[in-house]
Chain A
Amino acid sequence: MNSIKIRSHNLNVFYGPFQALYDINMDIESNKVTALIGPSGCGKSTFLRSINRLNELIDGVRIEGQIYIDEKPIYARDVDVVALRKKVGMVFQKPSAFPMSIYENVAYGPRIHGIKDRRVLDEIVEKSLKAANLWNEVKDRLKAPATGLSGGQQQRLVIARVLAVNPEVILMDEPASALDPISTAKLEELIAELRCNYTIVIVTHNMQQAARVSDYTGFFLNGRLIEYNRTEELFVNPRDKRTEDYITGRFG
């Protein structure tokens, strides 16, 4: 039984006069990992940031079309952006722990959303850090500054921070690009574990990574979704010449 979590319908995004996305139609399945690949500047991040409406923070952005999450339009007038972003978490390229303690980083989201009870917070922090495979490394120094963690640890902390607000979708924009191979392997392991409970959309420049972690892959080029298929299909048997050129490395 497949169900669609995110449905992009004729999505067009403009930065001022520049059109970054053209008519994106894409159905993203529940509890699967979907990878977005494509050359730099093709609009992967723009698409990702459309899903939690982070794009609209930029001056001069215009968005046409619609994205549905659980069949509800997120670009409708009465949508509560806070509730949307609570449901759709995001992990960015640069690991970015807030300049506060490890504990406070993870408790940040729940606190924002009104949880004050210390015991409840303790529980959320522990659960989220465990789910992010970071608990064992930090359980003895929860009060220590999070900025002292390594890049890989910070990235898992960011994931714990996202998990702490109990999202259903996690967007990841090149989450491993600033990490060393060992941290990257840990992160990929974590993604494999998380896929059971979350719908994950991940942007990556690393073909092997996309092949390893994802169930579905979408190939973007110049603001268009060129090909979108099951990952094995797309890598073994690309239908479009441009996809083939890109995944075989015959591309700028």
Chain B
Amino acid sequence: MPTANYGEKVMTLVFWLAAFLITAILAVIIGYIVVKGFSVLSLDFIFTPPSRAGKEGGISTTIVSTLYLVLGSLLIAVPVGVASAVYLEEYARKNSRFAYIVNLTAETLAGIPSIVFGLFGFVFFVIFLGWGWSILSGAMTMAIMILPTITRTSQEAILAVPREYRENSLALGASKWQTIRKIVLPSALPGIATGIILSIGRAVGETAALLLTAGSSLGMPMSITDPARTMAVHLYILAMEGISLERAFGTAFVIIVLILIINYAAHYGMRRLSALGR
């Protein structure tokens, strides 16, 4: 059947092209960023603070601000998200009204655009609570933003833990909490980590919501009440206000490298942690 064979070949080519496109896009973007930002890239760029609004100097303060904001939002969102996932999957009754409402809320929150969270954070944390533009306001806003992702992925990870593990553990005389702590959460860890990595990516890339809540100060933040400018915000301002396109691309490059480092570190850590498991 030559026609069927021909069709097969054409489709294979189409699928191959689609897959190739993804790789090509990534290569072009990274290549473009490297070429454009190359002139400013150096260790100095990473380790010196910006001067003259970013026209000169490096981006050290924005790297530190980014790390603070990401860490801060994770510190709030991970415990709350994982705890609520444990509650929803392990403690709530299947047709509980409260669980239904929480699930629905998480789903709705996940669909809200980040700028809306930014607006809320601005009005509530910055103005109403009087925290001003600060790491605290920014981290709280981002925590709310990533909370649904962390809750959802943790729920899925917990749900994927085989029922047999729980039954075996309980049948050995373990309490529910011992079973969750020693069996369920360790088994769910890789899935939970995936949610955390996704959230980190979102937080590192966020701009608008952070402009509204953490401000755009280029100074080195000394406490959580200080305002801060993350790399993404810095990039945005550099490009938008025509301060320096080279430096914008240089910043973009550092953002990508940082994300790669975080991803690999997380994967590696995860493999170490669950080395015995799989």
Taking Cβ atoms with an 8 Å cutoff, the residues of A that contact B are 52, 54, 57, 59, 82-86, 89-90, 92, 94, 96, 98-101, 104, 108-109, 112-113, 145, 147, 158, 161-162, 165
Contact = CB atoms under 8 A, between A and B. Distances in A.
Contact of A92 (B94, B167, B174, B278): B167
Given A100-B277, A112-B174, A113-B173, 13 more contacts: A54-B171, A57-B170, A59-B93, A85-B170, A86-B173, A92-B164, A98-B165, A108-B169, A108-B174, A112-B182, A145-B276, A145-B277, A161-B172
Most buried by A among B93, B173, B175: B173
A240 B169 CA distance: 39
Q: What 4 pairs between A and B have smallest CB-CB spacing?
A: A99-B277, A96-B164, A86-B173, A90-B171
Contacts of A113: 173
Nearest to A109: B172
A99 B165 CA distance: 9
Contact of B172 (A83, A89, A94, A104): A89
B51 interface: no
A112 B276 contact: no
A134 to B, nearest CB: 16
Contacts of A86: 172-173
A162 B169 CA distance: 10
A131 to B, nearest CB: 16
Contacts of B162: 96
Contacts of A147: 277-278
5 contacts: A57-B167, A86-B173, A90-B167, A98-B183, A147-B277
B274 A99 contact: yes
Given A104-B276, A145-B278, A96 B172 contact: no
Interface residues of B, number: 23
Interface of B: 93-94, 162, 164-165, 167-175, 178, 182-183, 186-187, 274, 276-278
Given A85-B173, A99-B278, A104-B276, A112 B178 contact: yes
A84 B187 CA distance: 27
Nearest to A83: B173
Contacts of A161: 168, 172
A108 B274 CA distance: 17
A101 B171 contact: no
Nearest to A111: B182
B276 A85 contact: no
A61 to B, nearest CB: 13
Nearest to A88: B171
Given A54-B171, A85-B170, A112-B172, A99 B276 contact: yes
A92 B170 CA distance: 12
B170 A165 contact: no
Contacts of A101: 276
A94 B164 CA distance: 8
Contacts of B169: 98, 108
Contacts of A85: 170-173
Contacts of B94: 59
Contacts of A94: 164
Contacts of A96: 162, 164-165, 168
Contacts of B168: 90, 92, 96, 98, 158, 161
A169 to B, nearest CB: 12
B8 to A, nearest CB: 39
